[in-house]
Amino acid sequence: MKAFARLLDQLAFTPSRNAKLTLLRDYLGHAPDPERGWALASLTGALTFDAAKPAFIRKAAEARLDPLLFSLSYDFVGDLAETVALVWPARPGANREPELPEVVDALRTASRREVPQLLERWLDALDSNGRWALLKLLTGGLRVGVSARLAKQALAQMGDVPVADIEEVWHAQTPPYGDLFAWLEKRSARPGSDAPARFRPVMLAQAIDEATDFVRYAAADYAAEWKWDGIRVQAANEQGQRRLYSRTGEDIAAAFPDVLEALEFEGVIDGELLIFNDGHAAPFGDLQQRLNRKGADAKLMAKFPAGIRAYDLLMDGEEDLRALPFAQRRQRLEVFIARLTSSRIDLSPLQPFTSWEELARLRADPPEGDPRIAEGLMLKRWDSLYEAGRPKGPWFKWKRDPHLVDAVLMYAQRGHGKRSGFYSDYTFGVWREDANGDRSLTPVGKAYFGFTDEELKRLDKFVRDNTVDRFGPVRSVRADKDFGLVLEIAFEGLQRSSRHKSGVAMRFPRVHRIRWDKPAREADELPSLEKLLD
Partner 1 sequence: MGPLMSSFRQLLRNTPEGLYCPPGDFYVDPVRPVDRAVITHGHSDHARGGHGSVLATPETLAIMAARYGQDFAGATEAAPYGKAIARGGVNVTMVPAGHVLGSAQAVLRWKDITIVVSGDYKRRRDPTCPLFEPVPCHVFVSEATFGLPVFRFPDAADEVAKLLKSVALFPERTHLVGAYALGKAQRIICLLRDAGYDKTLYMHGALASMNALYEQHGVALGPTAPATDAARNALPGEIVIAPPSAIADKWARRFADPIPAFASGWMTVRARARQRHVELPLVISDHADWDELTETITELKPEELWITHGSEDALLRWSELNGITAHALEIIGYEDEDE
* DSSP conformation letters of 118-153: HHHHHHHHS-HHHHHHHHHHHTT---S---HHHHHH
Q: What are phi and psi of 81, to 5 degrees?
A: -60, -40
Q: How far apart are CA 39 and CA 8, in angstroms?
A: 9
**Residue 68 touches partner 1, criterion: CB under 8 A:** yes
* Single residue of 45, 46, 58, 73 touching partner 1 by CB under 8 A: 73
Q: How far apart are CA 45 and CA 54, in angstroms?
A: 20
User: Which parts of 99-138 interact with partner 1 (CB under 8 A)?
Assistant: 127-128
The distance of closest approach from Cβ of residue 10 to partner 1 in the complex, given in angstroms and rounded to an integer, is 8
Contact between 7 and 39 under an 8 Å Cβ cutoff? The reply is yes
User: Which parts of 204-223 interact with partner 1 (CB under 8 A)?
Assistant: none
How many CA atoms are closer than 13 Å to the CA of 363, on its beta-carbon side?
A: 22
Closer to partner 1 by CB, 64 or 344: give it: 64
Q: How far apart are CA 58 and CA 50, in angstroms?
A: 15
- Contacts (Cβ under 8 Å, ≥6 apart) of 29: 158
**Residue 69 touches partner 1, criterion: CB under 8 A:** yes
* Window of 14-22, 32-40, 236-244, 486-494 that interacts with partner 1 by CB under 8 A: 14-22
**Residue 92 touches partner 1, criterion: CB under 8 A:** no
* Window of 76-84, 195-203, 208-216, 402-410 that interacts with partner 1 by CB under 8 A: 76-84
Q: How far apart are CA 459 and CA 465, in angstroms?
A: 10
User: Which parts of 509-528 interact with partner 1 (CB under 8 A)?
Assistant: none
State the burial class of residue 25 (Cβ atoms within 10 Å of its Cβ: 0-12, 13-18, 19+). middle
Closer to partner 1 by CB, 15 or 240: give it: 15
Q: What are phi and psi of 403, to 5 degrees?
A: -75, 150
Q: 278-294 burial string, b = 16+ CB within 10 Å, else e?
A: eeebbbbbbbeebeeee
* Single residue of 45, 46, 49, 66 touching partner 1 by CB under 8 A: 66
DSSP H or E stretch at residue 469: strand 467-471
Interface characters, 15-44, with partner 1 (x: CB under 8 A): x---x--xx--x------------------
The distance of closest approach from Cβ of residue 80 to partner 1 in the complex, given in angstroms and rounded to an integer, is 12
* Window of 73-81, 109-117, 222-230, 365-373 that interacts with partner 1 by CB under 8 A: 73-81
* Single residue of 13, 96, 193, 437 touching partner 1 by CB under 8 A: 13
The distance of closest approach from Cβ of residue 87 to partner 1 in the complex, given in angstroms and rounded to an integer, is 4
Q: How far apart are CA 382 and CA 323, in angstroms?
A: 13
The distance of closest approach from Cβ of residue 104 to partner 1 in the complex, given in angstroms and rounded to an integer, is 24
DSSP state of 96: P
* Single residue of 83, 234, 237, 384 touching partner 1 by CB under 8 A: 83
Q: What's the one-letter identity of residue 399?
A: K
User: Which parts of 132-161 interact with partner 1 (CB under 8 A)?
Assistant: none
**Residue 14 touches partner 1, criterion: CB under 8 A:** yes
Residues interacting with partner 1, by CB under 8 A?
6, 10, 12-15, 19, 22-23, 26, 65-66, 68-70, 72-73, 76-79, 82-83, 86-87, 127-128
